[in-house]
Structures are given as structure tokens and as C-alpha cells.
Amino acid sequence: MNDQHITSRPSIRADLDPLIIPVIDDGGHGGIGHDDLNDPDDGVVLSIRMGPLFFAGDFIELFWDDVLVQAFPITAEHYVSRIIGFSVLPKDIIKPGVDIYTAQVYYVIHDIPTGTSAKLDPPREVLVKNTVPGNPDPVPDTPYLNENLLAPTGVPAEIVPPVAPVTLTIDPWQHMHDGDQLTVYWGGTQNKVTQPIVGVNQPQTVIVPADVIESGGDSPNLRVLYSIRDLASNWSLYSEAALTNVAIDPSRPAQPRILDDGQPTLKIDLDAPGAHVITVAIPVYVNALEVKAHGANAKKGRMALNDEITMTWEGETADGLPLVYVAPVQLVTDPGFGPTFAIPAEYVTKIANGLAKVFYDVDPADGTLIVFHAVAPSP
């Protein structure tokens, strides 16, 4: 620094170009989190889009909480690209023993020939949180599951009409902080209740409305679980699941079967040996109400030739992004067997560590629409 002959105290400049942090500004994260700081040799990227106040030959310094973390001259290459990039190593961001803090980040630009300087003010405030709700995960071999997060309590063993709201209790988790968002999933990741926590290190109460329960569909082993996402977008993984037998719509036919390389499964482990060709088999279905209304010997309400079936694979990635595949309609060609649908590989691999809900709609040849939702965990 001495050979740059920087002697003046920087002036405060609010018109300097702002700092950009792609993981926050483009990645949708609320701050810098654990995954951003996990590799000690992989820095957090910041940048400036150079405006008219920058020139080749200027000298720039980046400060993180008033500590100089990077400094270099602005070159002709910067001037051509109009982008100044920084990379701040985790060691310059992590504060030992500090779970969460807000950093003040700014830069100072020096005009070497004149000896004048300018400082970005106000500095950019950056939330940093290097801990994850519920971590450390005790069993890394289950990448979608955090066994530290116990199953919710209060899930009834059976749910039958009339459907009423269900009140769940979630135990406190490690690294619980104000601003944590708790999400309960009822039979699938698209069918959920999300709310901020009330009280740190306190049990949380979540009321699952009746319409969410009904939307989750019928299943003898419907899964109810939860996850947490903190202010910096650190994600806890999924909790252990509580199971319930939901039987609220007798008109719904049997569940589809999810097959992994031809074998029925409720959990797709992409790390296990195999090609992992995923298919969904539609069972021979019956609309119980239609059969009751028209008599046991009538064809009404039963699988029939030329029924139209639409299968939907409704997934959610580990980052909470929806990924939905609606398969082309298939006709029933043999009333003794339902059709089988293939799931494109990208709709399986892209939701690794996530969950999926599989359901099919039947548009019978006799004109009576029946819809069935079946829930199954994905990779």
C-alpha cells in the first residue's frame, strides 16, 4: 500500500456505484449462509458495475466490518468490461463463536495522481449466518432427512369425515433464531402451511386447516413432516415424519404405485445401485359412490375401456422450487390393467433431496370425473 502514495482521508460519497452480491441479489437468499461459507478456498463474490467515477489506474479497497479484505489497482481490463469483481474468503467473513450478525461492507476508491479518495456510504448491510436450523445432521447418509428434527406430535392416527383442523406441536431445534420460517407439509411439499416462529427455543404450534387436509388426499400412510428455513435461507432438511390414515373421500380409487427400476417404492435413493428408471403404475380403480349408486353389477364407476387418465408428478426441489410434470393423457386399453407412465429423468434428479406428490385424474368414458391424489416421497 505504501508505494501507492495514498495520503488523503476518503470523502463520503453516496453517489458511488453500489456493491452487488449475486448470492443475495440474484440467488434470492436473505443473506450469506452456511453453504456459501462451507469451502474455505471458495470466496463469496461481490462486484461493482463501474460508473463514470472509476478510471484505469485508480486503486480500490474492500472493507468487511472496517477490516480490509481485498485491494488492487483498477486496470484497463476492468475499464473495458466495466465490472470490478471481488472474492471474499470465508475466513474473512466467519466470526468464531458468533452465530449470526450483520456486516457493514463498503469500498474506498483512490485517485492516485490527485491523492483523493472516496468511500461508499452508506455501506451495504449483509446478513451472515453460518449455522443451519437443526444441524449438525447426525446421519449424512440420508441427505434429504435431518434426524435431529423429531416428527410433529398431535397427528391423529386416523382422519375421517367430518374433517376438522389439526393442531400440531413442533419441538424446538438447535440454532433456532428469530425470523426462522417453519413449514409443515401435509401429504406433499405443495400442500403446506408456513409461518414464522413464535418464541425462540419454545415449542411451536401449527394449525393445519381442514382444506389443506382435504387437499392432501386419502392415504393409509399419509406423511406429515416439516422443515425450517432461516433468514439467510439456510435449510434444515426434512424432519422425521408422522403417519396418519386419511379416509375422507370414499369415491377416490386406489393409490398409484411408484416404481424404481420396476420395484414398488416410497423412497427413491439415487445413490443406491441401479438405473433409477421411475414409472407410475395406475391401479384398477373404482369410484365407490358411483358403484353404490348404480348397483354392484353395473359398470358405472369402474375402470372402463377408453377412460382418459392424466398423471401429474408434483415435485419440489430442496431449495423449495416447484417442479411439475404433467404426462400426456393415456387411454385405458384393457379394463383389467391401468396404464403406466414414465417420469423423465430430469424431473427426478432435479428434486433430489426434495419430495414429490403423485396423483392421477380420471375422465371416465361414461362422463363422471373422479380425481385421486396419492402422496409419495421422492429422492
Residue 290, Ramachandran bin (φ over 0: left; ψ between -120 and 50: alpha; else beta) = alpha
Position 6 scores a pLDDT of: 39
Beta bridge partners of 323: 315
Q: pLDDT tens across 256-265, in order?
A: 888 999 888 8
The predicted structure's pLDDT at residue 251: 63
**Ramachandran region of residue 255, left (φ > 0), alpha (ψ -120 to 50) or beta?**
beta
- Asked if residue 253 lies in contact with residue 219, where contact means CB atoms within 8 angstroms, the answer is no
Q: What are phi and psi of 131, to 5 degrees?
A: -110, 155
3-class SS at 71?
strand
CB-based contacts of 4: which residues, under 8 Å, 6+ apart?
A: 59, 73, 110, 112
pLDDT-derived band at 56, boundaries 50, 70, 90: confident
- The pLDDT tens digits of the residues spanning 107-154 come to 999 988 888 899 998 999 999 999 999 998 898 887 788 999 999 999
Residue 231: name the closest of 96, 21, 29 by CA: 29
Q: Which of 166, 171, 227, 225 has its CA nearest to residue 199?
A: 171
Domain ranges of the chain: 2-129, 158-246, 257-376
Residues 220-259 have pLDDT tens digits of 888 999 999 999 999 999 999 999 999 887 666 677 888 9
The whole-number average pLDDT for the span 327-342 is: 91
**Burial of residue 371, with CB atoms counted within 10 A of its CB: 0-12 exposed, 13-18 middle, 19 or more buried:** middle
Which pLDDT band holds residue 72 (cuts at 50, 70, 90)?
Answer: very high
Beta bridge partners of 373: 359
- Residue 12 has a pLDDT of 61
Radius of gyration of the chain (CA): 28
DSSP H helices in the chain: 22-25, 76-81, 210-215, 288-294, 346-349
Assess contact for 30 and 180: CB atoms under 8 A: no
Question: In this predicted structure, what is the pLDDT of residue 1?
Answer: 36
Contact, 57 vs 114, CB < 8 A? Answer: no
Q: What percent of the chain has pLDDT over 70?
A: 85
The answer to whether the Cα torsion of 67, 70, 75, 77 is positive or negative is negative
Give the phi and the psi of residue 312 in degrees, each rounded to 5.
Answer: -125, 130
* Class of CATH domain 158-246: mainly beta
* Segments of 236-327 assigned E as strands: 242-246, 257-260, 263-264, 278-281, 308-316, 322-326
**Distance of alpha carbon 155 from alpha carbon 153, whole angstroms:** 6
Distance of CA 162 to the CA centre of its chain: 33
Confidence at 378, pLDDT banded by 50, 70, 90? very low
pTM of the model: 0.75
User: Tell me: domain 257-376, CATH 2.40.160, correct?
Assistant: no
Nearest to 361 by CA among 285, 288, 296: 285
Burial of residue 114 (CB within 10 Å: 0-12, 13-18, 19+) is exposed
* Better-scored residue on pLDDT, 343 or 353: 343
Mean pLDDT in the chain? 86
Domain 2-129, CATH: 2.60.40
Q: What confidence tier does 373 reach under pLDDT thresholds 50, 70, 90?
A: very low
Beta-carbon neighbour count of residue 48 at 10 Å? 22
Q: What is the arithmetic mean of pLDDT over 265-293?
A: 75
**What's the DSSP call for residue 91?**
G
pLDDT tens digit sequence for 290-315: 555 655 555 556 778 888 999 999 88
Query: What are 346's three cell numbers?
Result: 430430469
What are 178-225's pLDDT values in tens digits?
999 999 999 877 789 999 999 999 999 999 999 999 888 888 888 999
Residues 337 and 355: beta-carbon distance below 8 Å: no
Say whether pLDDT at 340 is over 70. yes
Let me know if 272 is exposed, middle or buried by CB neighbors in 10 A (0-12, 13-18, 19+): exposed
Determine phi and psi for 331, rounding to 5 degrees: -95, 150
Asked whether this chain's domains 158-246 and 257-376 adopt the same fold, the reply is yes
Question: What is the pairing mode between strands 59-64 and 67-73?
Answer: antiparallel
